[in-house]
Structure 1
Amino acid sequence: MFSSFALVKLIELVIRPGLFLLWCALLGVLLLRWRRTRFWAGLLLIVGLGGLTVFAVTPASVWLLRPLEDRFTRPDPMPTHVTGIVLLGGAIDLPVSTTRHVTALNIRAERMLGFLQLAHRYPKARLVFTGGNASPFGGRATEAAVARRLFVSLGINPRRMLFENRSRNTRENALYTYRLVKPKPGQIWLLVTSAADMPRAVGCFRQVGWMIVPYPVDYHTRAHGAAWLTGLARSLTLGDWAAHEWLGLVYYRIRGWIPVLFPAPIRKNG
């Protein structure tokens, strides 16, 4: 039997906008063979091909992703002292990295660069990487193991770093890292992850009792405006990412893993 984690992962794969629209179009083509199902065939073709056209022509993916990326900003001014820096996994292509024995990164690769920049900016800060294996079928390989090799090869002293290798999702990132680090009141910890992922990540950390400071990186939308006709592949990639985050916020709120539906920056009085 599948675990609830595996079931959620498989459902998420099926309802990805790009794949969903493609299946609608293919099913519509198949149903055209029978007269009784031609109405449904036409409807499915309109949904499938129409949706793919919308993503190919318009900045729909940008409209979905930008509110997520704009939700949190970097600290201004930056703190003079930082206790530690936490980097969320998700930037490593684990199957490629493990089968080819290399460090393969995906479109979230800027997370690693942002983390390294902060590590050099705050040489006394503790460094934490959190990421296990998010495959619904499990596996022994972990992002933490690949990240360790990468950071050591780039000159980071392994004695500065802690690696959390059990987590499979953002909620577990927060929970297991909190238990590993045991942050104390008054300490300043920075959280590094992609800007689009930050609302859900911050919510998870707050829910476990850690008021961590967001440091978003890895932006994929402009600050203003949006280009049309950017290509179907890129649009669907960003659209799938945005859908994952919006649906994830709803799911996490229902499960009680985040305190509010759309976590926001904490406003300082005065």
Structure 2
Amino acid sequence: MLFFASLIAFVVVLKRSVRADRTSTRAKALAIGVPLGVALLALATAPRGYLLTKTLGAMAMPLGLVWCALAGFIALAYWRDRWRELPALCVVFVLFSLAGSGFVADLLGGSLERAYASDPFAEAPFDAVIVLGGGTDEAYGRIQLGASGDRVALGARLYHRGLAPRLVTTGSAIAGFSEHDAAAATERIWREMGVPAEAIVRLEGARTTSEEAVIHAREIRARGWRRVGLVSSAQHMPRALALFRERGARVVPLAADFRSDAPRWRGFHDLVPRGDAAARIHGACWERVGRLAGR
């Protein structure tokens, strides 16, 4: 809020200082003064050191540049007394700021992840551990861990700790969208991590979490497994757990890939939209929409 109040005060003072000349002087002062004022506010309110560097860097990234441009448009609308445009610009500016805020990302993500923060290695041994797809990727013909690769790593760690005698993987290529076979890639990486072939169960045919729940519930009943763990990203766990339980599969949540932390306000740094924060907000919203859709 200090930033928004300071920006308004800056524009008011700047407007009054050049009231006598309402043409070229105003345009030049605005073109130079607004970016300079925003930069000075960043220097004045952002924490010193590493975080300050990160803040200024965020302002130089695409989202940060758009954010600065929106601030400039607000100043220009006020300068030219375009009161009809000003409210809409302010609403867009605030929404854009919130959509890329690290503080908002921690709030939304944490509300999904917090309930699953227990230590998976403190659990009793399982008959099997299911690792949902999405933890691998492929680029330039090379298989690699993806953004949710901690899922795959946690499965291998549970095996080597003696908690998961069997690891179960699913995931199939989606025609017209991706040719990447997640189950095959996961199995290959597990083998490279020292998990023997006889400890891996690979199930084909699932493309969505809902389809995975159906296939795994059927497999659990067929094999008579009594204690089964479910590994997925922490944000994804509430939706995955609900889908499994709807299919009659009682599983123990083993969350991986935590992306949020306890919300902590970092001043100006949390006002500048960042791509990583926007991605986390997108993920949290996606999970909520998916839960409502039942998929």
Same fold by TM (over 0.5)? yes
User: 1:39-96 deviations in whole A, cap 9, x for unaligned?
Assistant: 9976664444332222445511111111100133437884433100100111222xxx
Alignment of 1:244 with 2:286, yes or no, is yes
| 1:212 partner amino acid | V
Unpaired runs of at least 5, structure 2: 1-62, 74-81
Determine the C-alpha separation between the residues in 2 that align with 1:45 and 1:149.
51
The residue that corresponds to 2:118 in the other structure is 74
Which of 210, 216, 235 is the matching residue for 1:171? 210
Measured in 2, the distance between the counterparts of 1:80 and 1:92 equals: 27
> Which of the pair has more CA radius of gyration?
2
Contact 2:172 2:181 in 1 (8 A): yes
SS for the counterpart of 2:235 is: helix
Question: Contact conserved, 2:168 with 2:200, CA < 8 A, in 1?
Answer: yes
The number of equivalent residue pairs is: 216
Single out whichever of 43-52 and 79-88 deviates more from structure 2.
43-52
What is the distance in 1 between the residues matched to 2:114 and 2:283?
15
Q: Which runs of 5+ in 1 are unaligned?
A: 1-18, 30-37, 258-270
Describe the SS at the equivalent of 1:193: strand
1:182 counterpart SS class:
helix
Query: After alignment, is 66-75 or 189-198 more displaced?
Result: 66-75
Question: What residue in structure 2 maps to residue 50 of structure 1?
Answer: 94
Please, which of 183, 204, 212 is the counterpart of residue 251 of structure 2?
Answer: 212
Q: Percent identity?
A: 23
Q: 1:59 aligns with which of 103, 114, 120?
A: 103
Aligned-pair Cα RMSD in Å:
3.1
Matched residue SS, 1:70: helix
- Of the candidates 131, 145, 160, which is equivalent to residue 171 of structure 2? 131
- Deviations 1:208-232 (Å, cap 9, x if unpaired)? 1111111111111124635452551
Aligned mates of 1:176, 1:214 — CA distance in 2: 17
Q: Distance in 2 between matches of 1:147 and 1:197?
A: 18
Q: 1:118 corresponds to which residue?
A: 158
In the TM superposition, what is the alpha-carbon distance from 1:192 to its structure 2 partner? 0.7
How far apart are residue 249 of structure 1 and its match? 1.1
Q: Which has the higher helix share?
A: 2
* 1:156 to partner: Cα distance: 1.0
